[in-house]
Amino acid sequence: MQHQHIYDKDGKQLCCTLEEKIYTNANAANLLKEQHSDDDGHDHDHEHGEGAAWKHYLPAIASLTMLLLGIALDHYIPQTFFKGYIRLAFYVVAYLPVGFPVIKEAFGAISKGEFFTEFTLMALATVGAFAIGEYPEGVAVMLFYAIGELFQSAAVNRAKSSIKALLDVRPTFANLFRNGNYQPVKPETVEIGDIIQVRSGEKVPLDSKMLSENSSFNTAALTGESKPKTIEKGETVLAGMLNLDKVIELKVTKKFADSSLARILDMVQNATARKAQTELLIRKFAKIYTPIVFFLAVALVVVPYFVAGNYVFNEWLYRALVFLVISCPCALVISIPLGYFGGIGAASRHGILFKGSNYLDLMTKVNTVIMDKTGTLTEGVFQVQEVVSLLLDEAELLKMLAAIERQSTHPIAKAIAEFTKNDASQYQATGVEEISGHGLKGMVNGKTVLAGNTKLLQKFGVAYDEKLDGIVETIVIVTVDNQYVGYVLIADKIKDDAAEAIKAMHQNGVTKIVMLSGDKNAITQKVAQTIGIDTAFGDLLPEGKVQKVEELKQDKTKVIAFVGDGINDAPVLALSDVGIAMGAMGSDAAIETANVVIQTDQPSKIATAIKIGKATRSIVFQNIALAFGVKVVVLLLGAGGLATMWEAVFADVGVALLAILNAVRIQKMKF
């Protein structure tokens, strides 16, 4: 079986086969460029790869068939020819399909100064078995090792499946409007401001603004949400979304390198480069452990010569070879990175992007979560919550208010205009005057209309109910001809899963949840009380948020995660132990600074991220305990001559397979 190598900064080969596969495969953008498309946009690798996959199994099938036939000839089929050199040649032929690639890798590693690798151990053990006449055992050890490699590849591919969904959304072309018609070009060549066309069933190639009236999009690859999303004219369409509806025109707002999809691909590409502490420790351990067991195996052959009364070289060499096979650290170096890689894949399937396996570990230790309010726990957009009309019909009040508010670009005015957009009223406002910090004044159908806060009414001497001063939400009071007629309550809507998110975090080990906001303290406290936040602070500038986080970090027992979405959250995201950004609507600065990105913008995914981190860590430690436990027992049995090559195969490849099966469980878990 062929292997690809990677090398550390000193040029030394990393010995862990699975890590080689994982870290090589994690170069998502390069793989995508090389394997998924060429200049004509066709997926040639996919076309040929599917049909050729079975060829990887041919060497193992050939060796297994010959091994079974050899065992049958040895023990069950009466004959006289299967002896001596014929028997040796038969088992050598059975050995070569699975053994030759490993021996080749061993020589390659030795030539680069890396003697103590799993390839070297397996080659020495199996060639040694042939040297003492244990041909079937030699073939069996290498065969099961090859089968283990095939299981590794299958497990890695399964773990990559969720992340691969992200890679597959990379568009291969963009229909650019040029010289009076649309021409397919590479997305990387499109400039900001260019007009592109996306047909039904095609992927959006670049972040853009919708020029057509509307269309429906599948956003699952970016957000994990299966429900189609309708995007209207003027709204943002992200690269990687799949157009489901009709032919649309878009105006490009970002170059491909700066698009949401490019950022996601970069996160996937670099995710496994940031390794968890457990993973780093095992790698260091393997580099020390492997030479130790090799020299112990040598001692197992040499020392008994001087102390044993009846020394038989072949017997002690056989014990040493068994010892070598058992001691191979495959199960550790396979299952641990696979466990973390599986965790990253499982998180991706839920719309959560971890920028490294080390953050999977850190999420399990988080006991304090600090959250921004606007855009994180709330929708981040003003919406009309309540309409109170005293002297006019409610519809009449809204028509007059909408007529005057449509003349303003203020976010509050836009919220009212959006709320009344289906109103076909012919009410027209004239002479509209915007009074900064107060509201609007204008004429609607010959009547003077004021729309604003209590300061506006005080300015013009209009009497109103003093209870309005106690309302914490944003309020737009309406007067007609200097008479108070009603008001509209506007607030930032709390996200549907915000309260559920707070409850779930408490249930998953978070002891303190703090909300920081630049909004009015009264509104901040009301939101906190509504959804169950422990502590909240309002009226904070960006530096105020930094100060609050620094105060909490003084308690060294706290492992802090900060959740935010805005540009002003970037400093706090960097300051916290784990920075979590709301990625679908969040700012570029927040997403770049964060360690974890929640593509669905759902705060409830924070608890999901904690659960996935804990499940991953649990599986990793289970595999460590399994590998060490079985190896120690069988090593002792092997040294004492009570374990044969068959037990050694179980202790090495068998445990590795069990560890792999345990690691891939995370892909089927529900969080």
- What are the tens digits of pLDDT across the range 555-570? 989 999 999 876 567 7
Cα–Cα distance between 121 and 330 in angstroms, integer?
Answer: 11
Cα–Cα distance between 542 and 224 in angstroms, integer?
Answer: 31
With DSSP H G I counted as helix, E B as strand and the rest as coil, what are the percentages for the chain, rounded to 5?
A: 55, 15, 30
**Beta-bridge partners for 492:** 382
- Domain covering 174-268 in this structure, CATH number: 2.70.150.10
- Domain covering 380-493 in this structure, CATH number: 3.40.1110.10
pLDDT value of position 155: 62
Cα–Cα distance between 567 and 586 in angstroms, integer?
Answer: 8
| Angle in degrees, CA 540, 542, 544, rounded to 5 | 50
Biggest alpha carbon–alpha carbon distance for the chain = 119
Arithmetic mean of pLDDT, 237-252:
88
pLDDT value of position 410: 74
pLDDT over 90, % of the chain: 25
Confirm if 546 and 579 have CB atoms less than 8 A apart. Answer: no
pLDDT value of position 306: 87
Q: Which residues contact 38 (CB under 8 A, 6 or more apart)?
A: 44
Confirm if 457 and 449 have CB atoms less than 8 A apart. Answer: no
What are the two backbone dihedrals, phi and then psi, of residue 170, each rounded to the nearest 5 degrees? Answer: -65, 120
- pLDDT of residue 216 exceeding 80, the answer is yes
pLDDT digits (tens, 9 = 90+) for 344-353: 888 888 888 8
Kindly indicate the confidence band of residue 286, based on its pLDDT and cuts at 50, 70 and 90: low
Confirm if 634 and 326 have CB atoms less than 8 A apart. Answer: yes
- Catalytic residue among 207, 361, 372, 565, which? 372
Greater pLDDT, 114 or 236: 236
The whole-chain average pLDDT of the chain stands at: 79
Greater pLDDT, 375 or 447: 447
- pLDDT of residue 223 exceeding 70, the answer is no
Domain definitions of the chain by residue range: 17-165+275-343+614-667, 174-268, 352-377+495-599, 380-493
* Residue 534: active-site member: no
List of E strands, 167-240:
174-178, 181-185, 195-198, 208-210, 214-218, 229-232, 236-237
- pLDDT of residue 305 exceeding 60, the answer is yes
Q: What is the CA radius of gyration of the chain?
A: 33
Which amino acid, one-letter code, is at 391? L
pLDDT over 70, % of the chain: 80
Class of domain 352-377+495-599: alpha beta
Q: What is the DSSP letter of 357?
A: H
Per-position b or e across 250-271, b if 16+ CB within 10 A of its CB:
bebbbbbeebbbbbbbebbbeb
Element (H, E) at 105: helix 84-111
